[in-house]
């Protein structure tokens, strides 16, 4: 218990007074806000000025009924577009990656000192171009040594053959035993085998001498040179001298949903399928290739299947590892009905659009959408050709609302007139346009 004179009693009283003061201020603020808001809505002029910034249900609720209600109802500024009919290509799209057809890590096949590098980083090389040279002097010495041994073995073999022939003559005349001829024939066979072994050594020495000149095995573009002139390289070292990547042609790998496998196979059986790719830096098609491969299994984690398309890439705009968007033309819709995609709204019942009739009043119309084509969406049903749909300003609309059609070309306001000389009028126009953009 808190006794009289206790210091804690003063602290409790202080907090109670502070809390009651804050509560009174809060309640007074709420009452003032309600009074001011109700007064502004009740006053017709104030209501008309605030209606562009009020939600549609408040505008509808605050609109007075009676004979003069129509004259005091403010029209909602909107932008519209007409539904059009045209032929629409249906594309199957997927995110892809550029893959090279061949990548070679150039390594030395012999050990030796690197004395010359004839390739530059980033250089385009052809198959057979000289890239590096190794010191060939030890290899030439090994070649001469092998050639000398080969010459000696050939002489020994020729002598053994001649001796064998003489012993055969003597044996026929009865001057020599059969064993001596057999020994001579054995020596002929052994010297012949020695000649073949030495010929192989000579061939290997010639091959190593050729390996001293390192050539490009493919056409492509050279990467970074990973060793400097003067270093001793080892045969088949873990670190390559250079990496060459084939850049023409290249493949693009991309994945599509597995439900389109049958359609793609039918199209490939009838004719070659053309694949178009775009990159992040360019929204337009930068290359056109041919689909040539469908993977033999579906990725169960994503429900997609991999496709491969080949591109000539003559200008080398496609770089290995680059992300792209690839699309395949599957079919074409004739006389399809299209509206801007931004005009389609969603509620609890599904997708709908606002239709503007001849009396410049709007009505809500449920629609069934199809595939997209750029900034437009194909409609299966719901509206007719040339009907006008609202593309901007939908948030303040309600069924039967009157609208004011604004020029689509002046979206965002005329900055030349809304500057310093535009004053308040230009500022209001800019604010209204900004509100419409946010709502769309």
Q: Convert the pLDDT of each residue in 209-257 to its tens digit.
A: 999 999 999 999 999 999 999 999 999 999 999 999 999 999 999 999 9
According to the 3-state scheme, what is the secondary structure of 233-246? ECCCCCCCCEEEEC
| Per-residue confidence band for 54, with pLDDT thresholds at 50, 70 and 90 | low
Which residues have a Cβ under 8 Å from the Cβ of 281 and sit 6 or more positions away?
none
* Residue 20 within any structural domain of the chain: yes
Nearest Cα residue to 252 out of 94, 90, 89: 94
Nearest Cα residue to 168 out of 190, 154, 188: 188
Q: How far apart are CA 394 and CA 163, in angstroms?
A: 113
* Residue 53 within any structural domain of the chain: yes
* Residue 409 within any structural domain of the chain: yes
| Percent of the chain whose pLDDT exceeds 90 | 53
Q: What is the pLDDT of residue 55?
A: 52
- Token couple for 404: 């004011």
Number of domains in the chain: 5
Residue carrying the six token digits 């299947």? 305
Q: How far apart are CA 86 and CA 75, in angstroms?
A: 33
Q: What is the pLDDT of residues 155-180, one digit of tens each?
A: 999 999 998 888 888 888 888 788 88
Q: List, in sequence order, every residue forming a beta bridge with 437; answer none if it has no partner.
A: none
Q: Compare 297 and 43 and report the one with higher pLDDT.
A: 297
Answer whether 201's CB lies under 8 Å from 132's CB.
no
Average pLDDT, the chain: 82
Neighbours of 289 (CB within 10 A): 23
CATH no. for residue 162?
A: 1.10.287
Q: What integer is the mean pLDDT of 32-60? A: 57
Same domain, 234 and 343: no
Least confident of 49-63, 170-184, 217-231, 265-279: 49-63
Q: What is the pLDDT of residue 434?
A: 38
Q: What is the pLDDT of residue 381?
A: 84
Strands 124-125 and 103-106: unpaired
Rounded to 5 degrees, what are φ and ψ at 307? -120, 150
pTM: 0.59
* Residue 392 within any structural domain of the chain: yes
Q: How far apart are CA 103 and CA 406, in angstroms?
A: 58
CATH no. for residue 344?
A: 2.40.420.20
Q: Which domain holds residue 240?
A: 110-130+218-244
Q: How far apart are CA 166 and CA 227, in angstroms?
A: 62
Same domain, 356 and 426: yes
Nearest Cα residue to 122 out of 218, 221, 214: 221
Q: What integer is the mean pLDDT of 366-382? A: 87
Q: What is the pLDDT of residue 435?
A: 37
- Token couple for 187: 């020596």
């Amino acid at each position: 218990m808190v006794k009289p004179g206790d210091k804690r009693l003063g602290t409790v009283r202080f907090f109670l007074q502070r809390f009651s003061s804050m509560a009174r201020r809060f309640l007074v603020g709420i009452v003032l806000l309600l009074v001011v808001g109700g007064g502004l809505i009740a006053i017709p002029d104030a209501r008309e000025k605030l209606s562009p910034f009020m939600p549609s249900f408040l505008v509808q609720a605050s609109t007075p009924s009676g004979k003069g209600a129509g004259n005091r109802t403010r029209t909602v500024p909107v932008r519209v577009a007409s539904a059009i009919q045209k032929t629409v290509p249906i594309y199957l799209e997927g995110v892809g990656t550029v893959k090279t057809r061949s990548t070679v890590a150039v390594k030395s096949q012999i050990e030796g000192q690197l004395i010359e590098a004839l390739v530059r980083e980033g250089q385009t090389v052809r198959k057979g171009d000289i890239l590096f040279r190794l010191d060939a002097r030890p290899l030439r010495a090994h070649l001469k040594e092998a050639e000398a041994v080969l010459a000696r073995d050939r002489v020994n073999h020729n002598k053994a053959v001649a001796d064998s022939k003489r012993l055969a003559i003597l044996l026929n005349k009865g001057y020599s035993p059969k064993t001596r001829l057999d020994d001579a024939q054995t020596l002929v066979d052994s010297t012949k085998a020695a000649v073949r072994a030495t010929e192989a050594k000579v061939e290997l020495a010639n091959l190593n001498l050729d390996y001293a000149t390192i050539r490009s095995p493919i056409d492509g573009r050279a990467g970074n040179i990973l060793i400097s002139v003067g270093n001793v390289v080892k045969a088949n070292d873990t670190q390559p001298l250079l990496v060459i990547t084939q850049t023409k042609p290249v493949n693009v790998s991309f994945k599509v949903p597995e439900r389109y496998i049958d359609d793609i196979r039918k199209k490939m059986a009838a004719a070659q399928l053309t694949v178009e790719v775009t990159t992040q830096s360019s929204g337009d098609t930068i290359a056109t290739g041919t689909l040539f491969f469908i993977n033999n299994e579906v990725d169960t984690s994503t429900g997609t299947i991999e496709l491969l398309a080949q591109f000539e890439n003559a200008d080398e705009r496609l770089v290995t590892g680059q992300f792209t968007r690839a699309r395949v033309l599957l079919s074409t819709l004739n006389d399809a009905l299209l509206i801007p995609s931004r005009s389609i709204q969603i509620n609890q019942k599904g997708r709908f659009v606002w239709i503007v009739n001849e009396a410049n009043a709007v009505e809500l119309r449920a629609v069934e959408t199809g595939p997209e084509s750029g900034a437009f969406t194909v409609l299966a049903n719901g509206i007719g050709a040339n009907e006008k749909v609202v593309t901007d300003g939908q948030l303040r609309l309600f069924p039967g609302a009157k609208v004011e059609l604004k020029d689509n070309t002046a979206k965002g306001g005329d900055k030349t007139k809304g500057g310093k000389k535009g004053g308040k009028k230009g500022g209001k126009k800019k604010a209204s346009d900004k509100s419409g953009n946010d709502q769309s």
